[in-house]
Amino acid sequence: MTETTITFGDLGLPEFILSAVSDMGFETPSPIQQACIPHLLEGRDVLGMAQTGSGKTAAFSLPLLAQVDIEQRHPQMLVMAPTRELAIQVADACEQFTKGAKGIHTVTLYGGQRYDIQLRALRQGAQVVVGTPGRILDHIRRGTLDLSELKFIVLDEADEMLRMGFIDDVETVMAELPEKHQTALFSATMPEPIRRITKRFMTDPQEVKIQSTQRTNPDIAQSCWYVRGFRKNDALLRFLEVEDFDAAIIFTRTKTGTLDITELLEKHGFRAAALNGDMTQQLREQTLDRLRNGSLDILVATDVAARGLDVERISLVVNYDIPLDAESYVHRIGRTGRAGRSGSAILFVEPRERRLLGNIERLMKKPIEEVEVPNHEALQASRRSKFTAKVTKQLEHRDLEQYRLLLEDLFTADQDQEDIAAAMLMLLQGKQKLILPPDPPMEKRTRRERDDRRSERGDRRDRRDSRSEERRGYGNPIPMDLYRIEVGRADGVDVRHIVGAIANEGDINSRNIGHIKLYDEYSTVELPQGLPKELLNVFAKARVLNKQMRMTFVSEANGSTGRERGERRSNGNRRSNGNRRSNDRNDRRDSGRREERRFNERGGRSFNERERSPRKEFKERGEAKERCQRRS
């Protein structure tokens, strides 16, 4: 008995949707699309649990767009997403799905874009609104977004909005909706705050749960290199020369990193391009089209910018910067090994990042093989092989007769033909030398280093205990550093604003943001140890409620655990303890002395000195200015 294949045409979608889906190359719906589309077409609320990449965008957008009234030029469908990148992608998908229906307009609302652009689009009459919770709520309060006649609301990646501190904004927006509307909520996990939203705002939701059949493609060969002996840039160039790949994607943590690495690769002859959150959607699509058609071979991207990326050519993933959480690693290497192809993934691991590697190995339930940087012999062999292939291919041409005549001019009785051929090879090799000097001797890994890695993995029982401990909190209990930012309660800042700014600007998963304390004039935040200087520069310039954070290092944060980070998200910065005031006062006094002492040992100023210093510096500048005026 043969199984009947379900097509999009079997799901009851209108012709303009089916035509758009066909033009985009989709033939059969994914499991979550098969399950959700009929429920949403029938007007039911849907609660969907599925991982990123399961096709959930089409699962909610196709049936809801099919019900939009083209004649009515007011918001009928609202989609809330945790990041501007995801909001842009969802909006782009909606526009693609409705290109055959003239009169359906989509507007995207997110922070960082000028208000006049968004206001103009809203005034022109958009039936579909896609955006981030904060900016949507801002437009509602300004009176520029009217949801009084909204028919459909979608919460996409609700658990991520919870982690980023946006859940209060989400609930506020939901409370503004008309009583009669249809709700679809999608989330990879279902923590209690999300369950609470479903009970409060959804009516008898149909639960759809799609299990991931496997975490990673078994055809992906994974390896890691401990950063030593070579700079990461030099090692990257060697790996790219030796690896046999069709197309590659290199992951880095920062937008600046994508530009720097792209410049390096282009300088060495690779066809590379950056992919980051600062790119317009049009430029992003142009870059991906170049990768698909073969005019581009390497993408250098951040995690957020690569979300939803699906290009069959990609056969190599290089994790230039190790991800701060293990789940991101799974998403990264999932960019290769598509459509039944094999692929490979290389992970660069700094000495201070071994704990992060251990977290990844525990999630993968297997060790990742360690490799060394290709040595001069491997590099030389790779270059010679490619050079030989190029010459052999040229020999297939039959129009070589004129070049044979040139050879006769070179051949003389005094010159050996092999010497002439060798001289020509030397000229042809260009910058990539075919004969390389031996690499300087490398220090071998000591037994202690090998034992350190084994102890980080732990034995089987330790790994099992570790996994159960991690489930109790948000994210992994990784070592933290304490930082100070120059925004506080007096600026109207809340914990969720800080979490959102750091997560968005630094492309850091919010589960890796530790304990946050708010004071009147400043705040402190715990972030993973070993953050690159480029990322700290980004945070120094980042803004919270339009005020620069000016982040500075304070000290190592001792005793920060995943459970503490969970408390920060669920309870804010307050503790329900009868003796909270006296205990907190003593804690702050004691910890303040310790932090000040450690900070001063590093050559920094104490908090009190820093708070007084702007006034003192202003006075000194004024006195200096007066002296200059007197001299002139």
Share above pLDDT 70 across residues of the chain, in percent, rounded to a whole number: 70
**What domain count does the chain have?**
3
Strands 343-349 vs 480-485: parallel, antiparallel or unpaired: unpaired
**pLDDT higher than 90, residue 556:** no
User: What pLDDT does 106 receive?
Assistant: 95
* 19-68 residue pLDDT tens: 998 887 777 888 889 999 999 999 999 999 876 656 788 999 999 999 99
Residue 152 pLDDT level (bands cut at 50, 70, 90): very high
The arithmetic mean of pLDDT across residues 79-89, rounded, is 87
> Is residue 462 included in any domain, yes or no?
no
Sign of the Cα pseudo-torsion (516, 518, 519, 522, in order): positive
Q: What angle do CA 521, 523, 595 make, to 5 degrees?
A: 105
> Is residue 424 included in any domain, yes or no?
no
The arithmetic mean of pLDDT across residues 377-381, rounded, is 73
- Cα–Cα nearest to 503, from 523, 533, 525: 525
**pLDDT higher than 60, residue 625:** no
Residue 528 pLDDT level (bands cut at 50, 70, 90): confident
* 451-463 residue pLDDT tens: 444 444 444 333 3
- Say which residue, 74 or 577, is predicted with more confidence: 74
**pLDDT higher than 80, residue 374:** yes
- Say which residue, 31 or 597, is predicted with more confidence: 31
Q: Are 95 and 16 in contact (CB under 8 A)?
A: no
Three-class DSSP labels, 302-315? CCCCCCCCCCCCEE
- Say which residue, 273 or 475, is predicted with more confidence: 273
**pLDDT higher than 90, residue 358:** no
User: What pLDDT does 171 receive?
Assistant: 92
- Say which residue, 67 or 569, is predicted with more confidence: 67
Any residues with CB less than 8 A from the CB of 354 and at least 6 apart, and which? 452, 453, 456
**Looking at 283-297, 348-362, 424-438, 493-507, which range is the least confident one?**
424-438
Number of Cβ within 10 Å of residue 228's Cβ equals 15
Question: What is d(CA 17, CA 19) in angstroms, rounded to the nearest whole number?
Answer: 5
User: What pLDDT does 540 receive?
Assistant: 84
Whether residue 93 is found in the same domain as residue 134: yes
User: What pLDDT does 162 receive?
Assistant: 86
**pLDDT higher than 80, residue 619:** no
- Say which residue, 506 or 513, is predicted with more confidence: 513
Whether residue 248 is found in the same domain as residue 364: yes
User: What pLDDT does 565 receive?
Assistant: 37
Q: Is 31 left (phi over 0), alpha (psi -120 to 50) or beta?
A: alpha
**pLDDT higher than 60, residue 559:** no
User: What pLDDT does 100 receive?
Assistant: 85
Whether residue 259 is found in the same domain as residue 162: no
Whether residue 228 is found in the same domain as residue 89: no
User: What pLDDT does 276 receive?
Assistant: 86
Local structure of 78: helix, strand or coil: strand
Whether residue 150 is found in the same domain as residue 293: no
Whether residue 252 is found in the same domain as residue 182: no
CATH number of the structural domain spanning residue 492: 3.30.70.330
**pLDDT higher than 60, residue 567:** no
User: What pLDDT does 434 receive?
Assistant: 57
Sign of the Cα pseudo-torsion (23, 24, 30, 35, in order): negative
Any residues with CB less than 8 A from the CB of 363 and at least 6 apart, and which? 215, 326, 327, 329, 330
The domain boundary residue, chosen from 344, 376, 408: 376
**Looking at 196-205, 482-491, 586-595, which range is the least confident one?**
586-595
Whether residue 293 is found in the same domain as residue 247: yes
User: What pLDDT does 42 receive?
Assistant: 95
Question: What is d(CA 328, CA 333) in angstroms, rounded to the nearest whole number?
Answer: 9
- Say which residue, 419 or 294, is predicted with more confidence: 294
Tokens of 311: 């290009």
Whether residue 204 is found in the same domain as residue 237: no
The amino acid sitting at 328 is: S
Tokens of 430: 């260009």
**pLDDT higher than 60, residue 195:** yes
At residue 213, what are phi and psi to the nearest 5 degrees? -70, -30
Q: Are 532 and 324 in contact (CB under 8 A)?
A: no
CATH number of the structural domain spanning residue 65: 3.40.50.300
> Is residue 398 included in any domain, yes or no?
no
Tokens of 92: 């782009």
**pLDDT higher than 70, residue 568:** no
Whether residue 198 is found in the same domain as residue 262: no
> Is residue 357 included in any domain, yes or no?
yes
> Is residue 413 included in any domain, yes or no?
no
Residue 622 pLDDT level (bands cut at 50, 70, 90): low
User: What pLDDT does 91 receive?
Assistant: 92
319: domain range?
220-376
Whether residue 199 is found in the same domain as residue 102: yes
Sign of the Cα pseudo-torsion (191, 196, 201, 202, in order): positive
**Looking at 220-234, 311-325, 573-587, which range is the least confident one?**
573-587
- Say which residue, 506 or 329, is predicted with more confidence: 329
The domain boundary residue, chosen from 317, 343, 376: 376
**pLDDT higher than 50, residue 484:** yes
User: What pLDDT does 605 receive?
Assistant: 41
User: What pLDDT does 443 receive?
Assistant: 54
Q: Are 176 and 167 in contact (CB under 8 A)?
A: no
The arithmetic mean of pLDDT across residues 168-172, rounded, is 92
User: What pLDDT does 74 receive?
Assistant: 93
- Cα–Cα nearest to 522, from 555, 476, 489: 489
Share above pLDDT 90 across residues of the chain, in percent, rounded to a whole number: 31
> Is residue 417 included in any domain, yes or no?
no
Query: What residue spans of 352-430 are helical by DSSP H?
Result: 354-364, 376-395, 401-410, 417-428
> Is residue 485 included in any domain, yes or no?
yes
> Is residue 512 included in any domain, yes or no?
yes
| pTM of the predicted model as reported, rounded to 2 decimal places | 0.49
The β-bridge partners of 485 are 523
The domain boundary residue, chosen from 376, 398, 428: 376
Whether residue 21 is found in the same domain as residue 137: yes
* 296-350 residue pLDDT tens: 999 999 887 776 677 888 999 999 999 877 777 888 898 887 655 778 999 999 8
**pLDDT higher than 70, residue 583:** no
End-to-end CA distance of the chain: 99
The amino acid sitting at 619 is: K
Residue in this structure with the two tokens 């789940």, named with its chain if needed: 327
**107: exposed, middle or buried (Cβ count in 10 Å: 0-12, 13-18, 19+):** buried
Three-class DSSP labels, 160-189? HHHHCCCHHHHHHHHHCCCCCCEEEEEECC
The arithmetic mean of pLDDT across residues 189-207, rounded, is 90
What does the mean pLDDT of the chain come to? 77
User: What pLDDT does 431 receive?
Assistant: 61
* 252-303 residue pLDDT tens: 988 888 999 999 999 888 999 999 877 877 888 899 889 999 999 999 998 8
Whether residue 253 is found in the same domain as residue 290: yes
Local structure of 482: helix, strand or coil: strand
Residue 402 pLDDT level (bands cut at 50, 70, 90): low
| Chain centre distance of CA 614 | 37
- Say which residue, 434 or 615, is predicted with more confidence: 434
Residue in this structure with the two tokens 């989400």, named with its chain if needed: 170
